[in-house]
Chains A and B, each alone.
Chain A
């Protein structure tokens, strides 16, 4: 408590000092040139510079002997830099001559008398020099066009390799490892067992055999009360025992939908939903991944499931394209 008060008092003093420094007006104006000749200031500058040198050596010592502690290193080097800064500022203000100078500005828009004509002549002369260099060339236009053609061709050739930067978009953005019969595996490669998930739980699963980092490979499997499901008729058999799988990638901006909200007491809390923690797009689980909140538009693609010998297996492909929309993506359902 006392520490807090002391801190507050100091903060207040600093704030006050800052305000005074920032807004105190100095009416005085420097004379044109003044020699400060202040031995005391020179001594102070020297002391600051010596201090900076010491701090610099301290940095070296900390680096070499003290296990290079980040905080000590930082303080030492900052002290060295700060002291040099203070020395320079002090020297600028109290050691070197103080002066106010006046300079004429060049004027671009209004050239002086005669100046304009001179500039025109220069431009003219430059043009003449170029033309004289081409004396004797008869078919200038033809050569000009040929040169332009060469330039265009070379430019196109230079830019073409850029195309190898990106493969054809084509089907690439809609590729998916999920087929009818693809098994769901956990991060460690073991198959996902239906009994593993309690009602109100979730886990991340991947298409067996696919790269886990493939955007379309990851799904989130959740389990809800089978009786609570409100799936559309064509998806009625996609969720055996209340187990549903959705693409783990948000259809808004491709973050992982890593938040599963499952109410302990549905009568009084918001319903089961998957949420993306980047922009909080919220997808309703019971109705099959429809958006209920946030900036996403497309529903979360659902993966139809079936249970084979206690293990989860895809009963078909994902219900829509995975990841963010792009021009040409077909809106799912």
Chain B
């Protein structure tokens, strides 16, 4: 054992400890509810006909090729929006799920294609087409965390996972909820986008909505009392850490301590021959 090796070993150990320490930041308290969401909520008064008219213009330009000129849908292409409601329009547009690049594919979160004003206009227009869920008012700070966790486990965890990291829904992708705002959570619950089930007021009331949204906020910044969260998706990344951090470090140490003289003088012979 040469001193250089000892030094390397000690140094590597120290460095890795500090590196991991810097990497695994101490758990932070959940930021006080993302209230700004509320500002976005539009009450009935804003639905002035001019906004609807602009919405109709935008709809005819951008949406009518699939959803039909009057939002009645095109068979085999896209569903009718007559009973979709404001909530559906707002959810799909704000999360960039619509417009789709290709008819028939699963709508996934992306960058919104419309400006804030345009989205409001389209919401107003789609909302005016017929009866459908309005944009729900979600106030996570009024919800109960434990009730939210219970409801989420019961109704949402089967697809999104109890940690909200997404999952397989066989034939579809249950998206992670890391970027979902409370309003979007509420909208999705009422609308049931793509293959998601939808839940009426009678099943999950306003208080339930608030609680679930509050729990979703928690999953976005969970309480990592144990240190670095390793992805929050359970044993798969934990196994990776065990093999590629712990076992790798231990192999390195074993290599430093142990000799590697299999075949004994063989390396010398090779040198001699070369």
Contacts and interface: CB of A to CB of B under 8 A. Distances in A.
A230 B235 CA distance: 40
- 4 nearest A-B pairs in the assembled complex, by CB-CB distance: A93-B1, A258-B158, A270-B171, A259-B158
Interface stretch (B7-15, B28-36, B52-60, B120-128): B7-15
Contacts of A198: 198-200, 202-203
Contact of A261 (B21, B170, B193, B251): B170
Contacts of A83: 10
A213 interface: no
B127 to A, nearest CB: 17
Interface in A231-274: 256-265, 267-270, 273
18 contacts: A18-B252, A21-B256, A22-B255, A26-B259, A70-B226, A86-B6, A93-B6, A198-B200, A201-B200, A258-B154, A259-B159, A261-B159, A261-B170, A262-B197, A264-B191, A264-B192, A275-B158, A275-B170
Interface stretch (B73-81, B109-117, B175-183, B211-219): B73-81
Nearest to A255: B158
B236 interface: no
B271 A195 contact: no
B260 interface: yes
Contacts of A17: 8, 12
A201 B203 contact: yes
Interface in A187-245: 187, 193, 195-198, 200-204, 222
B194 A263 contact: yes
Interface in A36-78: 40-41, 44, 48, 69-71, 74-75, 78
Contacts of A48: 10
B17 A280 contact: no
Nearest to A198: B200
B78 to A, nearest CB: 7
A12 interface: no
Contact of B169 (A75, A82, A275): A275
Interface string B78-101: 110000000000000000000000
B176 to A, nearest CB: 15
Nearest to B255: A22
Contact of B79 (A25, A86, A264): A264
B155 A89 contact: no
Contacts of B257: 89
Interface residues of B, number: 65
A111 interface: no
A69 B12 CA distance: 24
A200 B88 CA distance: 15
Contact of A44 (B3, B103, B168): B3
Interface residues of A, number: 63
Given A198-B198, A198-B202, A201-B203, 20 more contacts: A21-B252, A22-B251, A70-B227, A85-B253, A89-B257, A92-B1, A201-B192, A201-B198, A203-B155, A222-B197, A257-B158, A259-B158, A261-B159, A261-B169, A264-B191, A268-B103, A270-B170, A275-B158, A275-B170, A277-B167
B267 interface: yes
A262 B3 contact: no
A79 interface: yes
B144 to A, nearest CB: 14
Given A200-B198, A275-B158, A29 B172 contact: no
Nearest to A90: B6
B104 interface: yes
A196 B155 contact: no
Interface in B135-187: 154-155, 157-159, 167-172, 174
Nearest to B80: A265
Nearest to A270: B171
A262 B191 CA distance: 12
B48 interface: no
B267 A27 contact: yes
Contacts of A10: 19
Contacts of B260: 25-26
A269 B171 contact: yes
A282 interface: yes
A277 B158 contact: yes
Given A26-B260, A90-B6, A269 B195 contact: yes
A215 to B, nearest CB: 17
B196 interface: yes
Contact of A268 (B104, B197, B225): B104
